[in-house]
Amino acid sequence: MIAIGAFVLALVGVTSFVSGVFGVAGGLILMGGLVYLLPVSQAMILHGLAQFVSNAARVVFWRRHLAVGLLLKFSASSLVCLGLFALVRFVPSKTAVLFALGLSTVVLFFVPDRWAPRITQPGVAYLTGLMGTALILLAGVSGPFLDQFFVRSGLDRRVTIATKAAMQCLSHVLKVAYFGALVGASLDEEWWALAAVVPLVSIAGSAAATRVLERMTDKQFYWWTRRIVLVLGCYYMVEATRSWLG
């Protein structure tokens, strides 16, 4: 357990840094790692706790750039989606989680620019709340999916980081509530002890990323973000396919 715990903490630190720089990909990597170590419901809870802290740290660091109007619209439809899932209490398989992680990141990547939805368009923030919350309850991660609504919006990279981080904070709270309270999953004592240390590691990784983000241009930020997400998405789809065929 000590070796596994050290690996998880290192993974949390690295993924928090990656998310702090690009606003995406860190949670995708972390979820992929946790789902191999824990049952899906428990992986969802631990991932939610780690990613909530990581995203909350980014909200604090970039709070002056938060787009409050978009966040409120996203939040309203997210709560509606949680209510619908509460009626079903569905728990996906590990293979389904991996496939959903990959598919959700790849599909929107190839949508032509003129057709791509933008978070600033009327009604799109409500749509992302519904679809993003559904996805995070099915796959554990919705950041790469949400990112596709931001990358072609023309928003400043700091507005994107702050607003998407706030949306993800809410999504991870709803995920922990869904799997912890509604589905009835719980972590073993050793994992709860590890979860107590996770916030410190998440904050450290997010803080270290702020300097890197400040030195990037908006063009560099969006160029790297899209390509990192595409590579990870393809990897998870391949892994899920191998699991089904095997």
Helix axes 94-106, 143-150, angle to 10 degrees: 10
Q: Is the pLDDT of residue 111 over 80?
A: no
Residues ≥6 apart with Cβ < 8 Å to 168: 27, 51, 55, 142, 143, 146
Domain ranges within the chain, ordered by starting residue:
2-245
Cβ-based burial of 201 (10 A; exposed 0-12, middle 13-18, buried ≥19): buried
User: CA dist 50 to 47, 167, 217, 225, Å?
Assistant: 5, 15, 28, 21
Question: How far apart (Å, rounded) are the C-alpha atoms in residues 4 and 238?
Answer: 25
Most confident of the ranges 17-31, 157-171, 192-206, 220-234: 157-171
Predicted confidence at residue 246, as pLDDT, reads 66
Cα–Cα distance measured from residue 191 to residue 70, given in angstroms and rounded to the nearest whole number: 35
Instruction: Specify the pLDDT at position 126.
Output: 96
How many Cα neighbours within 13 Å face the side chain of 188? 7
pLDDT of 212 above 70:
yes
Structure confidence at residue 108 (pLDDT): 64
What are the DSSP E strand ranges found in the chain?
none
Whether 24 shows a pLDDT value over 70: the answer reads no
Rounded Cα distance between 10 and 182, Å, is 30
What are the tokens at 211?
A: 């300097």
Those residues whose C-beta lies under 8 Å from the C-beta of residue 53, and which sit 6 or more positions away, are 198, 199, 202, 203
Model confidence at 31, pLDDT cuts 50, 70, 90, reads confident
Q: What does DSSP assign to residue 120? A: T
The pLDDT value given to residue 185: 65
Of 222 and 68, which is predicted with more confidence?
68
Give this prediction's pTM. Answer: 0.78
Q: Count other Cβ atoms within 10 Å, centred on residue 206.
A: 26
- Average pLDDT value for residue range 118-127: 92
Mean pLDDT within 23-43: 78
Structure tokens at 146: 């949400």
pLDDT of residue 90: 85
pLDDT tens-digit readout, 162-189: 999 999 999 999 999 998 877 666 667 7
Average the pLDDT over 107-118 and give the result.
Answer: 74
Mean pLDDT of 6-22: 79
What residue type is 33 in one-letter code? Answer: G
Among the residue ranges 57-71, 124-138, 192-206, 221-235, the one predicted with the least confidence is: 192-206
Q: For residues 133-159, give the mean pLDDT.
A: 85
Q: Between 26-37 and 94-106, two packed helices, what is the crossing angle to 10 degrees?
A: 170
* Structure confidence at residue 85 (pLDDT): 92
User: What's the whole-number mean pLDDT along residues 5-9?
Assistant: 79
Contact 228, 23 (CB under 8 A): no
| Nearest alpha carbon to residue 27 among 152, 135, 111 | 135
pLDDT at 98 over 70: yes
pLDDT of residue 226: 77
Measured distance CA(84)–CA(149) in Å, rounded: 23
| Per-chain mean pLDDT for the chain | 83
